[in-house]
Amino acid sequence: MSNKMNETIIFREYQKADHFALAEIIRKTWHYDQLCSLKTARKLAASYLDHCLTDQTFTQVAVADGIPVGIIMGKNNQTHKCPLRLQLRLMRSTFALFCSREGREISRMFSRVEKIDADLLKSSPLEYQGEVAFFAINAQYRGMGLGGKLFQALQDYMRQENIHTFFLFTDTTCNYPFYEHQGMVRRGEHSHNFEVQGPLGKQTLFIYDYQM
């Protein structure tokens, strides 16, 4: 950790060259290798990242000595419009994932997650102007305050956009108490038993929100 503390950290917008490093953070953080082969896990991570990139109006990447180690994405629901290039990239990565039987099977689990998330959002009593579309940090760089800085950058963006309420989805595979520490409120939850190549066990999915 001491060596990591001495590294130079900068914060900037997402760049195309960040894609592989950020997809690898996704693959390792959510342990995709335990769900499928390495080849499919990398395709799954790339597809998920591409999906998030189509659903944002703000990005902030933490870069340590030239390597992306964390990212947060936010969305202004009023102004969001996905560029065609990002739509095409998502189509390519989704097609690559669906080319294998394993990829199609793992995708069904994530479709179930999306359905649960949609139900959680529908059941919330609030209407949201914004969303935290994605948030992840390389495990080796946690505990250094990067998460707090990235979240603060997102809050600053929301204020600039005159957004007073925003939300995010998370689950028990993530460090969800972090969001409570940042002042977010758990608005709903749903538990489900997922099964891909054997039982994954019970997971609970949450929706959190923040009012400024």
Domain borders along the chain are 2-211
Cα–Cα dist 187/175, whole Å? 17
CB contact at 8 A, 74 and 61? no
- pTM summary value: 0.92
Cα–Cα dist 7/145, whole Å? 13
Cα–Cα dist 71/141, whole Å? 12
Cα–Cα dist 193/14, whole Å? 34
Per-residue pLDDT in tens (0 to 9) along the chain, 212 residues? 446 655 789 999 999 999 999 999 999 999 899 889 999 999 999 999 999 999 999 999 999 999 999 999 999 999 999 999 999 999 999 999 999 999 999 998 889 999 999 999 999 999 999 999 999 999 999 989 999 999 999 999 999 999 999 999 999 988 899 999 999 999 999 998 877 555 456 789 999 999 98
Which amino acid would we find at residue 23?
A
CATH class of domain segment(s) 2-211:
alpha beta
